[in-house]
Structure 1
Amino acid sequence: MSDVSCGKGGGSDSHFHLRIASVFIILVGSMSGALFPVLAKRTSWLSVPKPVFDFAKYFGSGVIIATAFIHLLDPASDELTSPCLSDAWRVYPYAFALALLSIFSIFIVELIAFRWGTAKLARLGIRHDPHGHGIGGHAAHGPEGNVEGLEGSAEGSAEKGALKADDSFGTETHVHEISTDSALAQVIGIAILEFGVLLHSVLIGLTLAVDKDFITLFVVIIFHQTFEGLGVGSRLAFMRLPAKYNYVPIVGALVYGIATPIGIAAGLGVRTTYNPNSAEASIVSGVMDALSAGILIYTGLVELLAHEFLFNKEMIEGSNGKLAYALVCMLAGCGIMALLGRWA
Structure 2
Amino acid sequence: MAASPVLRRANCGNGGGAEDYTGLRIASVFIVMATSMFGALFPVVSRRTKWLNVRIPFAVFQVAKYFGSGVIIATAFIHLLDPAISALGSSCLPSSWAEYPYALALCLVSIYMIFLIEVFAFRFGTRMLKKIGMTAVKDGQSIKATPGEGEELESLPQLEKGVPVSPIAQVLGIAVLEFGVLLHSVFVGLTLAVTANFKILFVVIIFHQMFEGLGVGSRLAYMDLPPRYSYVPILGACLYGITTPVGIAAGLGVRASYNPHSTTADIVGGILDAFSSGILIYTGLVELMAHEFVFNKDMIEGPTRNLVFTLGCMLLGAGLMSLLGKWA
Q: How far, CA to CA, are the matches of 1:277 and 1:342 in structure 2?
A: 19
Q: CA deviation at 1:115?
A: 1.2
Q: CA deviation at 1:210?
A: 0.4
Per the alignment, residue 292 of structure 1 pairs with 276
8 Å contact from structure 1 (residues 209, 268) kept in 2: yes
Which of 104, 110, 117 does residue 96 from structure 1 map onto?
104
Q: CA deviation at 1:119?
A: 2.2
8 Å contact from structure 1 (residues 202, 259) kept in 2: yes
Per the alignment, residue 170 of structure 1 pairs with none
In the TM superposition, what are the counterparts of 1:56-75 in structure 2 within 5 Å?
Answer: 56-75=64-83
TM-score normalised by the chain length of structure 2: 0.90
Residues 119-155 of structure 1 show CA distances to partners (whole Å, capped at 9, x for unaligned) of 2233445563256x25xxxxxxxxx54468xxxxx76
Per the alignment, residue 166 of structure 1 pairs with none
Paired residue type of 1:15:
Y
The answer as to 2:275 corresponding to 1:266 is no
Q: How far, CA to CA, are the matches of 2:303 and 2:108 in structure 1?
A: 36
Q: Secondary structure at the match of 1:128?
A: strand
In the TM superposition, what are the counterparts of 1:1-344 in structure 2 within 5 Å?
Answer: 1-4=5-8, 5-46=11-52, 47-125=55-133, 128-130=136-138, 133-134=140-141, 144-146=142-144, 182-344=166-328
TM-score normalised by the chain length of structure 1: 0.86
8 Å contact from structure 1 (residues 146, 156) kept in 2: no
Q: How far, CA to CA, are the matches of 1:295 and 1:147 in structure 2?
A: 30
Q: How far, CA to CA, are the matches of 1:109 and 1:147 in structure 2?
A: 22
Q: How far, CA to CA, are the matches of 2:143 and 2:174 in structure 1?
A: 19
Paired residue type of 2:136:
H
Q: CA deviation at 1:157?
A: 7.0
Change in Cα spacing, 1:233 to 1:90, as seen in structure 2 (3 Å) is same
Paired residue type of 1:16:
T
Which runs of 5 or more structure 2 residues have no equivalent in the other structure? 147-155
Q: How far, CA to CA, are the matches of 1:30 and 1:189 in structure 2?
A: 21
Change in Cα spacing, 1:113 to 1:209, as seen in structure 2 (3 Å) is same
Q: How far, CA to CA, are the matches of 1:245 and 1:118 in structure 2?
A: 19
8 Å contact from structure 2 (residues 131, 145) kept in 1: no
Q: How far, CA to CA, are the matches of 1:314 and 1:146 in structure 2?
A: 22
Q: How far, CA to CA, are the matches of 1:54 and 1:239 in structure 2?
A: 14
Q: CA deviation at 1:117?
A: 1.6
Which runs of 5 or more structure 1 residues have no equivalent in the other structure? 135-143, 149-153, 159-177
Q: CA deviation at 1:183?
A: 0.6
What is the RMSD computed on CA atoms of the aligned residues? 2.0
8 Å contact from structure 2 (residues 133, 144) kept in 1: no
Aligned residues: 310
Q: CA deviation at 1:343?
A: 0.3
Q: How far, CA to CA, are the matches of 1:86 and 1:245 in structure 2?
A: 48
Paired residue type of 2:199:
I
Residues 158-206 of structure 1 show CA distances to partners (whole Å, capped at 9, x for unaligned) of 9xxxxxxxxxxxxxxxxxxx96xx1100111000000000000000100
Q: Secondary structure at the match of 2:41?
A: helix
Q: Secondary structure at the match of 1:12?
A: coil
Q: CA deviation at 1:156?
A: 9.1
Q: How far, CA to CA, are the matches of 2:19 and 2:233 in structure 1?
A: 37
Identity, in percent, stands at 61
Paired residue type of 1:80:
L
